[in-house]
Amino acid sequence: MRGSITFLLLQCSEMAGINAMEKKLAEYKCDTNQAICLKLARFPEDLEDEGTTFHPEYSHQLYGDDEVAFGYKGLQIQLYYTAGNLNTLFKIKYTAKVTEKFDCVEPDDVEGKIREVIPAGFCSNTDDFLALLEKEANFKPFGTLLHTYNVHNEEAGEDITYQIYKADMSCPGFREYHERLQTFLMWFIETASFIDVDDERWDYFLIFEKYNKDGETLFATVGYMTVYNYYVYPDKTRPRVSQMLILPSFQGEGHGAQLLEAVHRFYCTIPEVLDITAEDPSESYIRLRDFVLLKLCQALPSFSTEHLAQGFSQEMATEAQEKLKINKKHARRVYEIMRLRTTDMSDLEKARTYRLEIKRRLIGPYKKNQRELAKMRRCLRPEELCNQMRQMDLQMQHEELEKSYQELLSEYRRVIERLAQA
């Protein structure tokens, strides 16, 4: 009996020791989204200014789903870029490393993970980086200027000028610049991947801010978009937006809408373009596209108020496709938003007419379920049919349809409100 008690005490002591060790090791875990410090430097003092630092939204592609790096205390991964040409400073700092206290534990290869995504040629010395920062006045945007616009800056009390360019890999220095630019995708697009830049069917669209430094005009990178030109038989192309990113320092200022509209207008001038689509668009991109297409379609005669009252027509689809390269599905969505804007929803009859029209479109998948149910009745055993019918409950379908309609209504109203404020 005494031996058993001694054994149990030894086990408890061993477990307590393990728990204590786990607690000590946990101190060497760092949130990589906080550890990674990004900057777009314009002036030397920006390097010491915490106000110019921003952090990733995602780091799971490099550091796993938990977005944690093990083996360091006070970890700071510095990725600083010159604002225009994106020359890069990469340094790692920490207050303590796990190997200083524990012999049998290895830290994560934090540096190696970063090296997987940033191109060679980066600086590891601050003085070298500052020397490149002094040469930013020599940097000029790549490609052809498509559009210039101004945004009023309340803090500065003045209008700031922005320019949108179209570039390709034949532009001197652009390939290397793009290698640096695309690293931001890893931190701000959840499923980002790098594209094959040797494929000539890619188009690149860039936004730059013009600013003054010591009496000279310089350019800062704001964001970009990549578009792939798919072939459509027999002699057309279908540009598909693949990647779009506005850097965090510039978000919420309307640059995404300016970029998407400029890209649309560019492709509208090319007869071979059939329509413009997007690859796996996010909800935020869909809202942005709704706003831009609504703005563009306002000028089309077929979308006038008197025509909206008559319902969606083939004339609308044709004019949107021929003049603005908008496909029928997107044209229909624009029509529904414009119809809502011109409908007095406080009038019960008008509201009902609008609701029924939208639901007739939304009900398509539910009608398909009903056709499938009719087939099941002919070939399933009673108990199997009972199970399927429970899954396709009619009342549930009505509730889902109403939910879909209300969600769509909220989305449309947000777009209308934004257009009213533009």
Tens-place pLDDT, residues 338-358: 999 999 999 999 999 999 999
Residue 42: the pLDDT is 97
Asked if residues 273 and 237 have their Cβ atoms less than 8 Å apart, the reply is: yes
pLDDT in tens, 168-197: 999 999 999 999 999 999 999 999 999 999
**Facing residues of 248 across strands?**
none
Residue 387: the pLDDT is 61
Residue 25: the pLDDT is 77
CA distance 56 to 79: 11
Mean pLDDT for the stretch of residues 96-102: 80
* Strand bridging mode 277-278 / 202-213: unpaired
Instruction: List helix spans (H) across 116-168.
Output: 126-133
Residue 12: the pLDDT is 45
Mean pLDDT for the stretch of residues 376-387: 58
Check pLDDT > 80 for residue 130. yes
* Strand bridging mode 277-278 / 236-246: parallel
Residue, of 285 and 390, whose pLDDT is higher: 285
Residue 84: the pLDDT is 98
**Facing residues of 223 across strands?**
207, 246
Other beta carbons within 10 angstroms of residue 68's beta carbon come to 16
Asked if residues 269 and 211 have their Cβ atoms less than 8 Å apart, the reply is: no
Mean pLDDT for the stretch of residues 66-79: 96
- Residue type (1 letter), 151: V
Residue, of 379 and 105, whose pLDDT is higher: 105
DSSP character at residue 119: P
Q: Hey, which residues are catalytic here?
A: 279
Q: In 101-215, at which residue ranges do the beta strands (DSSP E only) sit?
A: 144-153, 158-167, 202-213
Residue 370: the pLDDT is 53
Mean pLDDT for the stretch of residues 35-52: 97
CA distance 268 to 274: 9
Check pLDDT > 90 for residue 104. no
Polymer length in residues for the chain: 422
Average pLDDT, the chain: 90
Q: What element of type H or E holds 384? A: helix 382-391
pLDDT in tens, 293-334: 999 999 999 999 999 999 999 999 999 999 999 999 999 999
Residue, of 382 and 146, whose pLDDT is higher: 146
Residue 397: the pLDDT is 74
Edge-to-edge strand ranges of the sheet holding 277-278: 144-153, 158-167, 202-213, 216-232, 236-246, 277-278
Owner of token pair 């038989």: 233
Owner of token pair 């500052």: 130
Check pLDDT > 90 for residue 389. no
pLDDT in tens, 225-255: 999 999 999 999 999 999 999 999 999 999 9
pLDDT bin (cut points 50, 70, 90) of residue 82 is: very high
Check pLDDT > 90 for residue 24. no
Check pLDDT > 80 for residue 337. yes
Check pLDDT > 70 for residue 132. yes
Residue 98: the pLDDT is 87
Asked if residues 105 and 97 have their Cβ atoms less than 8 Å apart, the reply is: no
Domains of the chain: 26-135 (3.90.360.10), 140-280 (3.40.630.30), 285-380+396-421 (1.10.10.390)
Task: Report the alpha-carbon angle 297-264-151, nearest 5.
Answer: 90
CA distance 305 to 309: 7
With H, G, I as helix, E, B as strand and everything else as coil, classify residue 197. Answer: coil
Classify residue 121 by burial, with Cβ atoms within 10 Å: 0-12, 13-18, 19+: exposed
Based on its alpha-carbon atoms, the radius of gyration of the chain, rounded to whole angstroms, reads: 28
